[in-house]
Structure 1
Amino acid sequence: MNDQGTDVTKLGNNLTSANFEQNHEASKTKRCWGWRHLFWEARTRILVWYVLLMVCFTATSVGLIRQVLFKEVYKRIDGYLIQEMQEFQQLLQQGKNPFTGQPFDDDITTLFDVFLSRNIPNDGEFLLTIVDGQFYKSSPKALPAPLQPDSELLKGWSNLTKSTKGQEETSVGSILYYVKPVEIGGELRGLFIVANSIAGEEEEINEVIVVIIEVTLIVMVAAFVVAWIAAGRVLAPLRSITETARSISETDLTQRIPLQGYGEMAELTITLNQMLDRVQRAFTSQRDFINDASHELRTPITIIRGHLELWDDDPKAQQETLELVLDELDRMNRFVNDLLLLAKAEWRDFLHVETIDIDSFTEELFAKAKALAERDWQLDAIASGRIVADRQRLTQAIMNLAENATQHTKAGEQIALGSAINRHNAYFWVRDTGKGIELANQKRIFERFARLPNSRRCSEGAGLGLSIVQAIAQAHQGQVKLKSRLGAGTQFTIVIPLEPKQDILPDESNSDC
């Protein structure tokens, strides 16, 4: 007993452990899916692209700003060099020795001394003089290592014999220089050099760039937060669409997406709501259709089954039962054919169009209609022209209207057919002098299985005739118009366009087949 208790305890512990592992794995999967779902959200992807673009634009902008700043520095320093050289040239050509009051002539050392004493160099600027190939003086006296008298750079400049401008990369950074040989009496006596180290300028530019980057990062973080909130508000209708779509089922198609704001989201919301309206109408129509069809089929099936269950050995009773069963089967067959026709009306190959002469076609319709019942048949008008249509389907629609007219008139009452044409449409009508249709029922009679209250019901009728007429007219891109008044008769008019759209025109490429 103790062993059994131990086993049960172990089993319980194992089940608990298994449940814990399953819950842990499910929770882990849910967390992973949550993060994955968050990453693949439209808002996240938009912000990722936004950040990438911001980074690219910022990096490009910072690089361009740095280049522009350096370009301005080089331009300014170059101006300083040229200015110093122009001032030296003016002193050389027009200046006078302050000690003698005469031109400097060949006294180059005094020339250099006077110029260095009168000019104060700018920050990072150095004025250097060389006399007879040897370093003479500089201003300021403290020179960086690359400009020391024994430096390789200064030795290279000492060998120049013509004016030279350039830039040298040294251990202290870039140095811009301007070297001018000084000739007295046609003989090279010395060199005047203006050099400018831009290391300080470079350091200032780099500090500015660092500040720009820091400020930009702060702005980008703030912009990211604001963009995240703004994107959430902009994409809120999408979440509403998702929630509404999840709440829609076959039993509840009434949910609609609330309209918010204007623009593309509002247009999308309106479009989806319109689509949901169409889906709801389609589901409702399908449900009503199935209910009505099952009701219509249940009646003949019940009649057939009831008579077969009461099958008698009497040959006469058997013959009557057989005739009744065959009649009900014929009615079911016609009913199924009508349903199939309504289903095919939505197919692309429902129509087989051809060019029809309206005048001969109208006379043909009138001849067929007169054979339906004993009525006062009249031919109102015959149009002259042609139309592109399906002869058989159009004949079926008009014969349905004529047969419907015979069911609502008595012998001797008038039924008339006619046709007319104008610039855009062809018209085929059937009118009768029956009792007419109430205004409240004029739209409903085109619905499937619809019948007028207190109307005489023929055994073969299922309320699909006018639905078939409307389906055929709409397949021709036309419509059916009804005009009726109580006690004054009814007129149905099929309106067909003379120039239908391309999708119902005959395929000329297969015309020989």
Structure 2
Amino acid sequence: MSVRIRVLTYLTALTGIALAVAGSTAFAIERARLDNEIGTDLTLRADDLHTLVAEGDPVTGATFVDAESILREAMRRVVASPTESAVALLAGEARFVPGGDEILRLETDDALLAAATDAATSGTVAVQSLTTEQADYRFLAVPIADATGAVQGVMVYAADHGAIMSALVDTFEVYVVVALISLAAIAVFGYVTVGRLLEPIRLLDQTARRISTTDLSDRIPIVGNDDLARLSETVNQMLDRIERAFSDQSQLLDDASHELRTPLTIVRNRLELLEPRDSEAVVAARDELLDEVTRMSRLVDDLVTLAKADRPEFLRLAPVDLAELTDVALSRASQLGPRIWTTEAIAEGVVEADAERLTQAWLQLSANAVRFSEPGTAITLGSEVRVTVDGVPEFRLWVRDEGIGIAHEDIERIRSRFGRVDTRVDGTGLGLPIVTAIAEAHEGRLDIESTPGRGSTFSIVAPAYAPRHEEPAPASPWDDPAAEGARA
């Protein structure tokens, strides 16, 4: 069954059970109350009869002289109805009956009269049950005895229990009909409501069926403003990421194939034209081919770094001393080229970060500064910890050069993979994308400020999260050869 049918089945079943339990409980309580009222009423009638006998004739005040007088006076006080009545018996025969039309006629039910006589003879004065062909009774027989204790007459009070309960049954039959109609209405309303609630899931299923590897542009329509609507928004965001990932992957493959095709073509042509007997040509070809292989290796390494950027294991977070990080970065950057290397500021503090990746990014920016500046010019490194307007602390690592600068319209181009402004300068065009990936992996960004002809400033900005544990930072995480920084 579909989710809609299952939910509707559960809803209808629970509602039906609740209505049945509520109705049955109410019926049982009401039935017990009526039984109690019948018994109480019959007992009060017997008490009134005993009071009458004790007080005597209400007219003369004299003591009753015989049972007939008592029964006559007691019958005068009976108000009969279709469900309750009385009969006075003398010598086992009905002597007095209440007047009125459409009342319960006890005197016509011989089985009741016989049972009442037996009860009075045995001295049982209690409410009893009796079912005859005429009715289902609750009755009480009060014996009237003389001074010797011999029973001279019997006053019988009875109620038609079946008739009284039939009214209750009729009421609950109406309840059952109303409950069934309500249950049907709940089922119809629930079917429509559950369908509307599950509409985002249906749209999600349809959209997922339409999406393929060749078309990831379809999105789920947002219906309503509830948890399922937020689920649709989350899935749409996931689809956006998947589409970007597929697009980046496709672009990466296209760019990589383009970048690798040239050196491979050079290698192939050089090998085809190589004269094995010419030793000088072999040596020259070897050097040239090694340069091309080195270039391809560097390109493959950069592509692998970018491919890992979205993985959780891309970063190895640990406490990082920003002052030590700055000193190490300056020391290693100064070996990249003959420039005037200085530090503008050194941050104090320890943050949760990946020292290896930050050093790699920082040296990549330094290598770019060397590549696009003249020997003898100044390149400045710096670090700081600052607080944003929102009160969030963040750290900033920057490289400032006095190079050729970048035009404003070219800044976005150099951020993209294989994007280069000057193709005459050696490089793969993956340096800044790698720096951007490292910054974003630290939940940060890469800021670029540049003025053509005056130089550029590249800044890595990320939240300054405090270490999650108090372990000391590694003494020299940058000493690991695997932590080699930017590549030429």
**Which of 377, 402, 409 in structure 2 is aligned with 1:413?**
377
What is the one-letter code of the residue matched to 1:168? S
Number of the residue aligned with 2:12 = 51
Number of the residue aligned with 2:68 = 109
Number of the residue aligned with 2:411 = 442
The 8 Å contact of residues 351 and 466 in structure 2, kept in 1 or not, is answered as no
Residues 85 and 445 (structure 1 numbering): CA distance in 2 closer, same or farther, change over 3 Å? Answer: farther
**Which of 293, 303, 308 in structure 2 is aligned with 1:344?**
308
List per-residue Cα deviations over 1:102-161 (Å, max 9, x = no partner).
Answer: 524332221102222442323232424466x85664634534354132x3x641342126
Aligned equivalents of 2:261, 2:200: Cα separation in 1: 47
What is the one-letter code of the residue matched to 2:309? A
What is the one-letter code of the residue matched to 1:65? A
Number of the residue aligned with 2:425 = 457
Number of the residue aligned with 1:26 = none
List per-residue Cα deviations over 1:183-236 (Å, max 9, x = no partner).
Answer: 666957555432222111222322333333234333433443343334333333
Alignment partner of 1:96 is 2:57: yes
Q: Which has the higher contact order (CA 8 A, sep 6+)?
A: 2
What is the one-letter code of the residue matched to 2:113? Q
Q: Which runs of 5+ in 2 are unaligned?
A: 98-104, 388-392, 475-488
Residues 57 and 361 (structure 1 numbering): CA distance in 2 closer, same or farther, change over 3 Å? Answer: closer
What is the one-letter code of the residue matched to 1:362? T
Aligned equivalents of 1:135, 1:186: Cα separation in 2: 21
Aligned equivalents of 1:58, 1:257: Cα separation in 2: 39
**Which secondary structure state, in structure 2, belongs to the residue aligned with residue 426 of structure 1?**
strand
Alignment partner of 1:166 is 2:127: yes
Number of the residue aligned with 1:369 = 333
Judge which range, 247-256 or 53-62, deviates more. 53-62
Residues 180 and 415 (structure 1 numbering): CA distance in 2 closer, same or farther, change over 3 Å? Answer: same
Number of the residue aligned with 2:442 = 476
Q: How does 1:252-267 map to 2 (within 5 A)?
A: 252-267=215-230
The 8 Å contact of residues 353 and 504 in structure 1, kept in 2 or not, is answered as no
The 8 Å contact of residues 120 and 143 in structure 2, kept in 1 or not, is answered as no
The 8 Å contact of residues 105 and 184 in structure 1, kept in 2 or not, is answered as no
Q: Residue 246 of structure 1: CA displacement?
A: 1.4
Number of the residue aligned with 2:174 = 211
The 8 Å contact of residues 87 and 106 in structure 2, kept in 1 or not, is answered as no
**Which secondary structure state, in structure 1, belongs to the residue aligned with residue 315 of structure 2?**
coil
What is the one-letter code of the residue matched to 2:160? S
Residues 245 and 390 (structure 1 numbering): CA distance in 2 closer, same or farther, change over 3 Å? Answer: closer
Q: How does 1:292-307 map to 2 (within 5 A)?
A: 292-307=255-270
What is the one-letter code of the residue matched to 2:190? A
Residues 326 and 392 (structure 1 numbering): CA distance in 2 closer, same or farther, change over 3 Å? Answer: same
The 8 Å contact of residues 354 and 388 in structure 1, kept in 2 or not, is answered as yes
What is the one-letter code of the residue matched to 2:168? I
Alignment partner of 1:488 is 2:454: yes
Residues 502 and 245 (structure 1 numbering): CA distance in 2 closer, same or farther, change over 3 Å? Answer: farther
What is the one-letter code of the residue matched to 2:290? L
Number of the residue aligned with 2:102 = none
Q: Which runs of 5+ in 1 are unaligned?
A: 1-39, 509-513
Q: How does 1:180-259 map to 2 (within 5 A)?
A: 180=142, 182=144, 189=151, 191-259=154-222
**Which secondary structure state, in structure 1, belongs to the residue aligned with residue 159 of structure 2?**
strand
Number of the residue aligned with 1:121 = 80
The 8 Å contact of residues 112 and 130 in structure 2, kept in 1 or not, is answered as no
The 8 Å contact of residues 97 and 111 in structure 1, kept in 2 or not, is answered as no
Aligned equivalents of 2:376, 2:385: Cα separation in 1: 30
Aligned equivalents of 2:171, 2:430: Cα separation in 1: 84
Number of the residue aligned with 1:426 = 395
Q: Residue 455 of structure 1: CA displacement?
A: 5.3
List per-residue Cα deviations over 1:20-51 (Å, max 9, x = no partner).
Answer: xxxxxxxxxxxxxxxxxxxx122211221122
Residues 259 and 355 (structure 1 numbering): CA distance in 2 closer, same or farther, change over 3 Å? Answer: closer
Q: Residue 263 of structure 1: CA displacement?
A: 1.9
Number of the residue aligned with 1:147 = 112
Aligned equivalents of 1:154, 1:492: Cα separation in 2: 116
Aligned equivalents of 2:242, 2:353: Cα separation in 1: 30
Aligned equivalents of 1:226, 1:382: Cα separation in 2: 68
The 8 Å contact of residues 406 and 450 in structure 2, kept in 1 or not, is answered as yes
The 8 Å contact of residues 106 and 112 in structure 2, kept in 1 or not, is answered as no
The 8 Å contact of residues 323 and 347 in structure 2, kept in 1 or not, is answered as yes
Judge which range, 281-290 or 486-495, deviates more. 486-495
What is the one-letter code of the residue matched to 2:441? A
Aligned equivalents of 2:31, 2:10: Cα separation in 1: 32
Number of the residue aligned with 2:139 = 177
Residues 169 and 193 (structure 1 numbering): CA distance in 2 closer, same or farther, change over 3 Å? Answer: closer
What is the one-letter code of the residue matched to 2:399? V
The 8 Å contact of residues 483 and 491 in structure 1, kept in 2 or not, is answered as yes
**Which of 258, 269, 278 in structure 1 is aligned with 2:241?**
278
Aligned equivalents of 1:356, 1:43: Cα separation in 2: 54
The 8 Å contact of residues 45 and 157 in structure 2, kept in 1 or not, is answered as yes
Aligned equivalents of 1:266, 1:503: Cα separation in 2: 39
The 8 Å contact of residues 378 and 417 in structure 1, kept in 2 or not, is answered as yes
Judge which range, 208-217 or 168-177, deviates more. 168-177
What is the one-letter code of the residue matched to 2:107? A
**Which of 129, 153, 156 in structure 1 is aligned with 2:119?**
156
